[in-house]
Amino acid sequence: MKKPRSLIIFFIISFFNISEVNATEHHSGHGGGSGGGGGSAGSCGKPNLGKFMPPHLATIAPEGEFSFRVFNIDKPEQISVTVKNIPVEVTAEFKDPYYLVKGKMPASLVNTAARINIKVNAKSPHCEAENGWLLKISGK
């Protein structure tokens, strides 16, 4: 009598494990998975922004230069930069495996603090990124 009962329990446990694996496999594209949903054409690697120079809270001269690195983008046209809602023109140079992006603080910003806001646009919202850092701008 114990064998049939243990077989039934075994099959019930197996069924739940298979259901869990199946759900994980079919929903892997929803959330923080780096590969997306099984390598389909719509998957992407989320852009990574870093190596902000000068570093956070550093003091720079008016119209001072800044730079940062962007990983996992197709083209530099995806990058937009603003400082206090002022669009900033940037240049990007490919340095395998990243783009080195450089820009200058707007001339109108003197004796203040300003956040450099970076946005990387993409076709899918899951493939976009935003980041930035704060710098102090000295007087002339």
CB 106 within 8 A of CB 116: no
CB 53 within 8 A of CB 66: yes
Reported pTM: 0.69
* Vertex 41 angle, CA 95 and 31, to 5°: 85
pLDDT on residue 100: 98
**Each residue's pLDDT tens digit, 50-92:** 999 999 999 999 999 999 999 999 899 999 999 999 999 999 9
| pLDDT more than 90, % of the chain | 61
Q: In terms of pLDDT, which residue wins out, 125 or 112?
A: 112
Instruction: Assess whether pLDDT exceeds 90 at residue 37.
Output: no
CB 139 within 8 A of CB 111: yes
112: which 2 tokens?
Answer: 């203040």
CA distances from 138 to 60, 99, 107, 114 (A): 6, 28, 12, 11
Q: What is the CATH class of 48-137?
A: mainly beta
Domains of the chain, by residue range, sit at 1-43, 48-137
